[in-house]
């Protein structure tokens, strides 16, 4: 009985995700000015989705989610707003790097007094743990990479 319930829940989540993903093309067409574009010169990950280097669009988040869309696909990730002491002077993305794997972790929007913090994915936790074990270290500090947003919707 529990397995059947879990299967139904998984199916509902997948259907909801597909509905959001397919609707994002319509959303993009309707609100093109609210999307920010960026060219990312390396492979990266958002949640459980792997992206190749290339041009991407980030949604203007409404609520608790950020959508990343590009030639390699679309990803939806949970975010939280974190307050900053002063407005950001430029828009940028911050990636946490572990070896040759990079994970989107922060989105800074020019002129805003907050930035968006992306949740740590299972894949990132796994990579960090493997790196800790390989280095025999209690704490592994990721190398941060910043990429400037190419277009602000102003």
Q: Can you give the pLDDT of all 154 residues of the chain as single tens digits?
A: 555 544 555 544 444 444 444 444 444 334 444 688 899 999 999 988 999 999 999 987 667 889 999 998 999 999 999 998 889 988 899 999 888 899 999 999 889 898 999 989 999 999 888 888 887 665 666 677 777 765 554 4
CA-closest candidate to residue 31, choices 69, 81, 78: 69
pLDDT of 143 reads 74
Predicted confidence at residue 59, as pLDDT, reads: 87
* pLDDT for position 29: 39
Residue 99 has what pLDDT?
A: 84
Instruction: Report the predicted TM-score, pTM, of the whole model to 2 decimal places.
Output: 0.70
Q: Rounded distance, CA 100 to CA 3, Å?
A: 38
Neighbours of 1 (CB within 10 A): 5
Cα-to-chain-centroid distance, residue 113: 20
Predicted pLDDT at 150? 58
- In this prediction, residue 95 carries a pLDDT of 93
Cα dihedral 32, 35, 37, 40 in deg (nearest 10): -140
């Amino acid at each position: 009985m529990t397995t059947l319930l879990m299967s139904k829940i998984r199916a509902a989540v997948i259907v909801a995700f597909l509905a959001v993903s397919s609707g994002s093309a319509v959303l993009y067409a309707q609100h093109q000015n609210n999307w920010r574009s960026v060219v990312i010169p390396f492979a990266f990950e958002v949640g459980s989705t792997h992206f190749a280097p290339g041009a991407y669009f980030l949604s203007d988040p409404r609520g608790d989610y950020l959508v990343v869309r590009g030639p390699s696909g679309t990803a939806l990730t949970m975010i939280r707003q974190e307050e900053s002491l002063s407005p950001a002077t430029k828009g940028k993305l911050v990636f946490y790097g572990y070896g040759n794997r990079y994970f989107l972790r922060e989105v800074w929007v020019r002129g805003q007094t907050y930035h968006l913090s992306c949740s740590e994915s299972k894949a990132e936790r796994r990579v960090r743990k493997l790196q800790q074990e390989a280095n025999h270290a209690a704490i592994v500090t990721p190398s941060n990479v910043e990429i400037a947003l190419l277009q602000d919707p102003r």
